Chain A
Amino acid sequence: MSNILSVFNPPPARPLSDEEVGTGCFPCTAMQALTALAGGAYLASGYVFKDLDTGKIDLKKNPMWWQRSVRGMGTVVVGFGVFRGAEAIQMLAEGLE
């Protein structure tokens, strides 16, 4: 069942096992690393603040503290992506041996 359908038809609350969460599976880790890298880079680049037409940053819409926090979060996500990517490469290397 998909995640969206389970919103409308919620399953009973329960803790998930490691297998269901997907820890330790290579595709999960690799996809997570890629997603984190791309999403983090998008947030950290500051491209989100720019107006599409003028290419300028509106300081009223995007105050400095907001820009800094979003960029900081993006950096953290990129770091997480690097970490997971390293884990994925490690898994791949272990699998090849």
Chain B
Amino acid sequence: MSWLFGGNKQTTKEEDLKQTLGFDPAQVSDVSSIINSPGVFDASRLHPLAGLDKGVEYLDLKDEQLNDIEGSKGLIPSRSWTDDLCYGTGAVYLLGLGLGGAYGFQEGVKNLPKNAPPRLQLNTILNHMTKRGPFLGNSAGVLALTYNMIDSSLDYFRGVHDDFNSLGAGAIAGALFRSSAGLRPMAYSTALMTGAAGAWCGVKHLLK
């Protein structure tokens, strides 16, 4: 979506310039810079179609950059904080949906109408599942979204990705999530989210 956000337009232009001119204009500024620049005597780089042998060029423009903050190699392939955000939120939402669905199933089985036709019983269970599942999924998704956003901000400000960030982000996200319900629910949700963040860090350490 570089046309919307003005992403890596500059790179594409330079690439295009290189292809129309047959060489990189940045390299001809100075004799010493020509001689000193690595690979300038490589015939394949001087060829008019230089760069095309690498394959389709958008593959290696921006996406190759990995998340370069220290200690950020995680479970899921991640190139940036947006990847963390999307994968984290998606996974937690689906987890919440599944858990909520299971809880709704159990609740529906408990509240089955007696002596009803099986069709109606199935309907009861499905109704309970569709009531609980999306609700829990939405809440979990919002929590994960807040957590990931705060976590990435902390990473950015502190310059390092460690467990303290995760714990802090969990605490802040939990506090924010129930901040309108009063002090006691806020404390509960803060403790719960900090615990969840700690558990997630533990799992990450175990699997690494």
Establish whether A and B are touching in the complex (CB under 8 Å).
Answer: yes
A interface residues, Cβ below 8 angstroms from B:
1-2, 5, 8-9, 11-12, 14, 47, 55
A1-B59 Cα distance, complex, nearest whole Å = 10
A12-B52 Cα distance, complex, nearest whole Å = 14
Q: Number of residues in B with C-beta < 8 Å to the partner?
A: 12
Q: List 18 A-B contacts (CB under 8 A).
A: A1-B63, A2-B86, A5-B1, A8-B1, A8-B3, A8-B4, A9-B1, A9-B2, A9-B3, A11-B56, A11-B58, A12-B56, A12-B58, A14-B56, A47-B126, A55-B119, A55-B120, A55-B123
A1-B2 Cα distance, complex, nearest whole Å = 12
Chain A interface, >50% SS class: loop
Q: Encode contact with A along B1-14: 1 for CB under 8 Å, 0 otherwise.
A: 11110000000000
Nearest residue (CB) in A for B86 is: A2
B199 to chain A, nearest CB (A): 25
Nearest residue (CB) in A for B120 is: A55
Find chain A residues with CB under 8 A from B126 CB.
Answer: 47
A1-B64 Cα distance, complex, nearest whole Å = 11
Find chain B residues with CB under 8 A from A5 CB.
Answer: 1
Additional pairs, 12, CB under 8 Å, beyond known A9-B2, A12-B56, A55-B120: A1-B63, A5-B1, A8-B1, A8-B3, A8-B4, A9-B3, A11-B56, A11-B58, A14-B56, A47-B126, A55-B119, A55-B123
A9-B58 Cα distance, complex, nearest whole Å = 11
A79-B28 Cα distance, complex, nearest whole Å = 63
Find chain B residues with CB under 8 A from A55 CB.
Answer: 119-120, 123
